[in-house]
Amino acid sequence: MDVYVNLKKIGNNVVLAICDTELLGKTLREDKIVFHIKGEFYNGGKTTVEEAVAMIRNSTIVNMVGKNCVEEAIERGYVHPDAVLNIEGVPHAQIVKL
């Protein structure tokens, strides 16, 4: 399964953005939440979900959206299932390493 991934160094942080391919360009809405899945943030190229989630190890800030990438991150122990926010039924998770 492929995902879009974007890895950037911003100051002292390594920011990783991952989204499932079918979500790029969509806007999710639920209650007061409006979540834009923008190409300029998520699209640094395509890779496998396994390779993308492996990049979490060397990242300090991670933003991921989509069933495939979030479930893989949960399976590998990077994200606790209770920390996942569902927006229109689509899982979203963030990781910040201090």
The three-point CA angle 71-74-76 to 5° equals 110
- Average pLDDT for residues 40-53, to the nearest whole number? 97
- 98, pLDDT greater than 90: no
Q: Which residues of 58-86 are buried (b: 16+ CB within 10 A; e: fewer)?
A: ebbebbbbbebbbbbbbeeebbeeeebee
CATH for 74? 3.30.1860.10
pLDDT tens, residue by residue, 2-39: 999 999 999 999 999 999 999 999 999 999 999 999 99
- The pLDDT of residue 87 is 97
pLDDT tens, residue by residue, 50-89: 999 999 999 999 999 999 999 999 999 999 999 999 999 9
Q: What is the side-by-side strand order in the sheet with 85-87?
A: 46-48, 2-10, 13-20, 61-65, 90-96, 85-87
Domain residues for the domain of 61 are 2-96
- The pLDDT of residue 84 is 98
Between strands 13-20 and 2-10, the pairing is antiparallel
- Give me the number of domains the chain comprises: 1
